[in-house]
Structure 1
Amino acid sequence: MTWTVDELLGPKTPEAAPEDAGTALAVLVDEALHRKIDRASVAVTPVTYEMGSISTGALARVHGRDLDGEHWSIFVKVIQHPRHWPLLHILPEPMATEILELFPWRAELCAWEQPFAGMLPDGMRVPALYRVADLGDDRLALWMEDVHASSEVWNLARYARAARLLGRLNARGARPEVMAQAPQPPGFVTRRFADSIPVRGLHALADDAVWAHPWLAEHAGLRADLLALAERIPAALDRLDALPQSMGHNDACPQNLLVPADAPETFVVIDAQFQSASAVGADLAQLLVGMVHAGEHRVAELPAVQSIIGDAYLTGLSDEGVVEDADEVRLGFLGMLLIRSGFTSLPYELMDRTDDPVAAGAFAERVALTRYIADQTRDLF
């Protein structure tokens, strides 16, 4: 769906004049960016995103020139009730019903509210939020700062800095007064991810024809390990629930920790899923593999990244006066890694492109990632 500026600003009142939408945008840009817009230059550019994001209805940049000819831009995210999700129909009916009833699609707004906004340590911030427009039909448009992110590839120093700050965030999120404000019980987010594993991973894992494909035929050992790990998912969830818990980001991949080009020592935190507490260390899971999923890092780099973020995270906890057992942190970290990515990292949709060397290379790298995760977690539960 392509959105116009008028639609993203929300419904007009019955008495509004036709030109009021342009005026509303002019006022918004003036208040947010202190710029006087050239109305004729205004445009909306859609931003691609993964359809697997249940509550994301659209991403776009509204942009143009000001009266001095300088460019301006605002990022707009439409969040929506899961009934609007175009992939809902492929889910088994019980799972679809549960998503419709329980999925907290408005939870992203918590990033700008207490307690989350007050938990962020120095070195982390959320993007400026300029307006929340009610679009009707259980859709909201979040008009926010368009962060011009650095194009530099993440290095070990950046990973360490991010992990240390996540440790500080999680230490603050473990405080009783913060935990008491959680809208969902501990483990809610983790178990919702686990609920999706059958559809996103186990069906293909059980399919002999899939594993006879040339790209998978030589990986019977990986399949056996994944099947064994799948049987341990309930035990893994129980173990994760028994660990110390903390409110955190719940999707702290590098893509959600933006590094502004003009302030590279700061992380701008986006897409926080502040719905329930997770096991201590869980926020490291997406930090570790996010760039491999994006194809920007190789699996061969993961051991060095894993080592440095684990140590830095413990330092971050200590910065806040919290000392956790390193083994428990590792269990929370790798347990969430298994639930989030162990069964769902293989891009089965590429398997019909056997003549495409790029697709073959990408698939082989995901096989290596899945092998890495299985090796890290096979003896944990």
Structure 2
Amino acid sequence: MDPAVKDHLIDRLTDLFGPGWGWNLEEVHYDVSSPTTAGLFRVRFDGQRDPVFVKVLSSYHQWPMLDLLTDEFRELATSTDLWRYEADVYLDGLAYSLPSGLRLPKLHSVEMLDDDHLVMFLEDVQPAADDWDHERYGRAAELLGKLSARLTRNDALLAAAIRTPGKLTRLMHAGFVERFAIRPLLDESVWDHPLLAGSGLRQELAGLVSGLPALLDDLAQRPQLMSHGDACPQNLLIPADDPDGFVAIDWTLSGLVAAGDDLGQLLIGRAHSGQLGVEELAELRELVVERYHAGLVSEGRANVGVDDVRAGLDGSLVLRNAFLSVPLGILAEPVTDESAAFMSQRLELTRYLVELGAVSLSG
């Protein structure tokens, strides 16, 4: 974080909590995944007061890679308040659209630090055990189905949400995957690295690229529902005071997408972290499709078929993750047994996603 922005944050904390005694600010380390996340912190207090989670958002104008976005995405990012989408979701509260068992974190306040930065003061959700067994995946999938049905019925997402069928999926794919993943991944020299040589995946990935326009067209024709946007397990917190429920965080730009789209992120989150192997992911795939569909039916959306949900899930997995699952960043580091094992797991995952893409295109 820019030191000046952090100074502004500390000044605001001092205004709220007093000049430095009785509280302290801890930085929460995280993998950078969002261009608008400037910093994560936790404020701890002396005595009995609960800690407060602090998230600082920054405008796209502050993002170093802004000029690399497509013209369409850059225009959207810089000419609107898209950067504060998550804060606006919490302020709105999505009343009447959250099914029982799924809630937002409690929002204490949103404060502007300057024209390009704001800070959210949020509930510091105390987590239960991180036990993602099959039943928890199924429960999450069912709640996501209910959520999508309700958000769509109530047209509950913010004005910034994209409501043209197929547009959001195309925008995200062209703006991020094509720009930042496909080109470096298909560079022939990359595959000379000892961790990648001999895998044969470059040719398979290159073959998949040619089918992506057809896949995008197919998803745009499927039943469209509103979604969370990044419903991975890491963004569905399990609160200690309600271990059967979830707290949905990190709301990202969303809108109308193919029914089942959220399930892709639900499955890929722990696969990317190495906690979910390809074999178990494949087993869970049909479970989450059935449970998501059950959630839709319970909310009156029986007109969306199981096959449509499965197509939305598979399309999300392929378009958002097939070209992002090879961790190119570790190629610059010394080869170790750990990095070799990690790369082997990710190559297995990538091969599964490529094969899934081939099946989707052939169907």
TM over 0.5: yes
Residues 1:115 and 1:231: Cα distance change in structure 2 (over 3 Å): farther
Matches within 5 A, 1:1-381: 1=1, 7-8=8-9, 22=14, 24-25=16-17, 40-66=21-47, 70=48, 72-88=50-66, 91=68, 94=71, 97-98=74-75, 99-101=77-79, 104-114=82-92, 116-175=94-153, 177-178=155-156, 183-186=161-164, 187-195=166-174, 196-220=176-200, 222-323=201-302, 324-381=304-361
Provide the C-alpha distance between the structure 2 equivalents of 1:9 and 1:277, rounded to a whole number of angstroms: 39
Deviates more, 1:267-276 or 1:283-292: 267-276
Which residue identity is paired with 1:272?
W
Residues 1:231 and 1:10: Cα distance change in structure 2 (over 3 Å): farther
Deviates more, 1:255-264 or 1:150-159: 150-159
What displacement does 1:260 show?
0.8
Alpha-carbon displacement from aligned partner over 1:209-256 (angstroms, at most 9, x marks no partner): 111222222222x22221122122222222211111111101000000
Provide the C-alpha distance between the structure 1 equivalents of 2:123 and 2:167, rounded to a whole number of angstroms: 30
- Where 2:307 maps in the other structure, the secondary structure is helix
Which residue identity is paired with 2:148?
N
Residues 1:179 and 1:141: Cα distance change in structure 2 (over 3 Å): closer
Contact 1:179 1:246 in 2 (8 A): no
Provide the C-alpha distance between the structure 2 equivalents of 1:179 and 1:371, rounded to a whole number of angstroms: 35
Alpha-carbon displacement from aligned partner over 1:16-58 (angstroms, at most 9, x marks no partner): xxxxx645226xxxxxxxxxxx952311111122323111111
Point out where structure 1 has 5 or more consecutive residues left out of the alignment: 12-20, 27-37
Residues 1:92 and 1:165: Cα distance change in structure 2 (over 3 Å): closer
Contact 2:5 2:113 in 1 (8 A): no
Contact 1:107 1:275 in 2 (8 A): no
Number of residue pairs the alignment of both structures matches: 356
Provide the C-alpha distance between the structure 2 equivalents of 1:375 and 1:347, rounded to a whole number of angstroms: 19
- Where 2:114 maps in the other structure, the secondary structure is coil
Contact 1:342 1:370 in 2 (8 A): yes
Point out where structure 2 has 5 or more consecutive residues left out of the alignment: none
- Where 1:340 maps in the other structure, the secondary structure is helix
Contact 2:236 2:249 in 1 (8 A): yes
Residues 1:159 and 1:151: Cα distance change in structure 2 (over 3 Å): same
Residues 1:102 and 1:275: Cα distance change in structure 2 (over 3 Å): farther
Provide the C-alpha distance between the structure 1 equivalents of 2:63 and 2:158, rounded to a whole number of angstroms: 31
Q: Which residue number corresponds to residue 17 of structure 1?
A: none
What displacement does 1:318 show?
1.1
Which residue identity is paired with 1:59?
L
Residues 1:115 and 1:228: Cα distance change in structure 2 (over 3 Å): farther
Q: Which residue number corresponds to residue 35 of structure 1?
A: none
Name the larger-Rg structure: 1
Provide the C-alpha distance between the structure 1 equivalents of 2:296 and 2:10, rounded to a whole number of angstroms: 41
What displacement does 1:9 show?
6.8
Counting aligned pairs with the same residue, the percent is 35
- CA RMSD between the two structures: 2.6
Contact 1:194 1:340 in 2 (8 A): yes
Contact 1:10 1:134 in 2 (8 A): no
What displacement does 1:138 show?
1.8
Provide the C-alpha distance between the structure 1 equivalents of 2:110 and 2:235, rounded to a whole number of angstroms: 20
Alpha-carbon displacement from aligned partner over 1:175-223 (angstroms, at most 9, x marks no partner): 2644795642333432232121223322223311111222222222x22
Residues 1:306 and 1:294: Cα distance change in structure 2 (over 3 Å): same
Provide the C-alpha distance between the structure 2 equivalents of 1:162 and 1:307, rounded to a whole number of angstroms: 14
What displacement does 1:8 show?
2.4
- Where 2:110 maps in the other structure, the secondary structure is strand
Provide the C-alpha distance between the structure 1 equivalents of 2:100 and 2:114, rounded to a whole number of angstroms: 36
Which residue identity is paired with 2:142?
R
Residues 1:100 and 1:23: Cα distance change in structure 2 (over 3 Å): closer
Provide the C-alpha distance between the structure 2 equivalents of 1:5 and 1:80, rounded to a whole number of angstroms: 12
Provide the C-alpha distance between the structure 2 equivalents of 1:103 and 1:224, rounded to a whole number of angstroms: 40
**After TM superposition, where is structure 1 displaced by more than 6 Å over at least 4 residues in a row?**
3-6
Provide the C-alpha distance between the structure 1 equivalents of 2:5 and 2:46, rounded to a whole number of angstroms: 17
What displacement does 1:83 show?
1.6
What displacement does 1:296 show?
2.3
Contact 1:3 1:44 in 2 (8 A): no
Which residue identity is paired with 2:46?
R
Provide the C-alpha distance between the structure 1 equivalents of 2:5 and 2:189, rounded to a whole number of angstroms: 45
TM-score scaled by structure 2? Answer: 0.89
